[in-house]
Amino acid sequence: MKISNVIAYPVWVGSRNQLLVKIETDEGIFGWGESGLAGREKAVAGAIEHYRELLIGRDPFEIGGIWQDLYRSQYFEGGRVLTAAQSAIDIALYDIKGKALGVPVYELLGGKQRDFVSTFATTIASPGPEMIEQAKILIEHGWTAMRLSPSGHENSEIKGVYEPREHIAPTAKWCTKAREELGEEIVLGIDYHHRLTVAEAASFCQKMPIGTLDFIEEPIRDETPEAYESLRTMTNVPFAIGEEFASKWQFLPFLERGITQFARIDVCNVGGLTEAMKVAGWCEAHYIDMMPHNPLGPVCTAASVHFCAAIANMSWLECRSTPVETHLGFDNREIFPVQPELDGANYAVKPTPGLGIEVNEALLKEAKFEFWQAPRLRRRDGSVTNW
């Protein structure tokens, strides 16, 4: 069997673009992958077009060797654009190999270690009574772990202005109220989307009683591990870090220095399943649980479910198809007629060969790419800040 074609589909699905990749073989077996790096799909599609020339004629079973070839066969190795492209290719190769051998992808990763994958959900309302009501709805539907959104998140995308200091106190107040109303058994976290500085993140955490939050996700940017080490001395709230990381090397200092407690790995950004399994092994050795980032479509979800099924150190998989997040449309049923299905708050681990998904390629060919840019935020003085 040889790879005969590699096709990239950067198309609008629901409320954002997805970059889906199909790899075809001369025996008629094909696989699907998905790339992350939302908002830069055309850049990644260009990398995939380049990689296509290196893949035609290769044996799709040589997944590890292909990964190394794509990563190392240039002077300027790695980087988020290239590893996002590699991720989609890697996932599609696992889909091909699973289908060819008649086994689910998790069998290629060592076999399943669980029958279902638990998820965490996200409330989308600004901190306040509605946020707590959404949390209660999620609990009614079976979720015991959830993530809250900080104050100011909703208006910033409309007005383009975000001032962290204006929102820290009200967010802390409503996180405390959420803990009081939802009880001690529910896992509560918050995603600050790397919007804060070290001082701002410390102030936020210090405004709440100990035990209010079970994790804080991406409070500051990840470029400087030493900044996270400094923040670690100012708060005891566990950190959930890593959704932006594009290789095992980016994870390394956060694991070896004990900076993070949950690894927010993204199989569609980090280099695919091949790289994700290596990171999971490192995390297991450091008693760190995986908490995969899963903000894309059903191909990403399927790959993440297989990954979660095959590892020992698993906490929760992110889920964006919940009773309080029905507006995104990433799981379009016409484009993805067969996809992972929730049973309450869990994804079942099914024995379907490959990833276990089906894609309506005819609809992808009709779909268009639509320019989308993440909100470009500024402070009141006009200076640029993080989204």
Token readout for 134 is 């959404």
pLDDT at 152 over 80: no
Helix, strand or coil, per DSSP, at residue 106 = helix
Sign of CA dihedral 243, 144, 313, 304: negative
Residue 365 included in any domain = no
- Report the distance separating Cα 83 and Cα 68, nearest Å: 11
pLDDT number for residue 75: 83
Residue 377 included in any domain = no
Q: Are residues 60 and 176 in the same domain?
A: no
pLDDT at 147 over 60: yes
Q: Would residue 136 be called left, alpha or beta, if left means φ above 0 and alpha means ψ between -120 and 50 degrees?
A: alpha
Residue range of the domain that includes 265: 107-354
- Per-residue confidence at 153, pLDDT binned at 50, 70, 90? low
Q: Are residues 85 and 153 in the same domain?
A: no
Q: Considering the chain, what percentage of its residues have pLDDT values greater than 70? A: 98
Q: Are residues 279 and 304 in the same domain?
A: yes
Domain with residue 31: its CATH number is 3.30.390.10
pLDDT at 366 over 90: yes
- Per-residue confidence at 375, pLDDT binned at 50, 70, 90? confident
Q: Are residues 56 and 168 in the same domain?
A: no
Residue 128 included in any domain = yes
Among residues 103, 125, 144, the one where a domain terminates is 103
Q: Would residue 349 be called left, alpha or beta, if left means φ above 0 and alpha means ψ between -120 and 50 degrees?
A: beta
Residue 382 CB coordination number (10 Å): 7
Q: Are residues 92 and 118 in the same domain?
A: no
Average pLDDT, the chain: 95
Helix, strand or coil, per DSSP, at residue 183 = coil
Q: Are residues 38 and 126 in the same domain?
A: no
Q: Are residues 82 and 141 in the same domain?
A: no
pLDDT number for residue 381: 93
Q: Are residues 119 and 85 in the same domain?
A: no
- Per-residue confidence at 158, pLDDT binned at 50, 70, 90? low
- Report the distance separating Cα 380 and Cα 328, nearest Å: 29
pLDDT at 157 over 60: no
- Tens-digit pLDDT profile for residues 293-328: 999 999 999 999 999 999 999 999 999 999 999 888
pLDDT at 9 over 60: yes
Instruction: Give me the mean pLDDT over the 208-218 stretch.
Output: 97
CA distances from 181 to 133, 134, 186 (A): 10, 12, 10
Q: Are residues 90 and 140 in the same domain?
A: no
**How buried is residue 61: exposed, middle or buried, by Cβ count under 10 Å (0-12/13-18/19+)?**
middle
Active-site residue numbers?
193, 293
| Residue closest to 132 by CA, chosen among 185, 177, 170 | 177
What letter does residue 239 receive in the DSSP assignment?
E
- Please state the separation of Cα 61 from the chain's center in Å: 26
- Report the distance separating Cα 195 and Cα 387, nearest Å: 6
Residue 369 included in any domain = no
The single-letter code of the amino acid at 123 is: T
Count of structural domains, the chain: 2
Q: Are residues 63 and 118 in the same domain?
A: no
The single-letter code of the amino acid at 321 is: S
Among residues 80, 103, 126, the one where a domain terminates is 103
The single-letter code of the amino acid at 353 is: P
CA distances from 347 to 245, 312, 338, 343, 350 (A): 25, 16, 14, 6, 9
Max Cα-Cα span within the chain: 61
| Residue closest to 31 by CA, chosen among 331, 355, 365 | 355
pLDDT at 156 over 60: no
Residue 304 included in any domain = yes
- Tens-digit pLDDT profile for residues 45-69: 999 999 999 999 999 999 999 999 9
Q: Are residues 127 and 263 in the same domain?
A: yes
- Report the distance separating Cα 109 and Cα 316, nearest Å: 19
Residue 233 included in any domain = yes
- Tens-digit pLDDT profile for residues 226-269: 999 999 999 999 999 999 999 999 999 999 999 999 999 999 99
Q: Are strands 30-35 and 16-25 parallel, antiparallel or unpaired?
A: antiparallel
- Report the distance separating Cα 127 and Cα 133, nearest Å: 11
Among residues 81, 103, 125, the one where a domain terminates is 103
HSE-CB at 195 with a 13 A cutoff on CA atoms is 26
Q: Give 334's contacts (C-beta < 8 A, 6+ positions apart).
A: 360, 363
pTM: 0.96
pLDDT at 118 over 80: yes
- Report the distance separating Cα 151 and Cα 164, nearest Å: 9
Q: Are residues 62 and 171 in the same domain?
A: no
- Per-residue confidence at 173, pLDDT binned at 50, 70, 90? very high
pLDDT at 155 over 80: no
Residue 367 included in any domain = no
Domain with residue 170: its CATH number is 3.20.20.120
Instruction: Give me the mean pLDDT over the 3-21 stretch.
Output: 96
- Tens-digit pLDDT profile for residues 257-288: 999 999 999 999 999 999 999 999 999 999 99
Residue 368 included in any domain = no
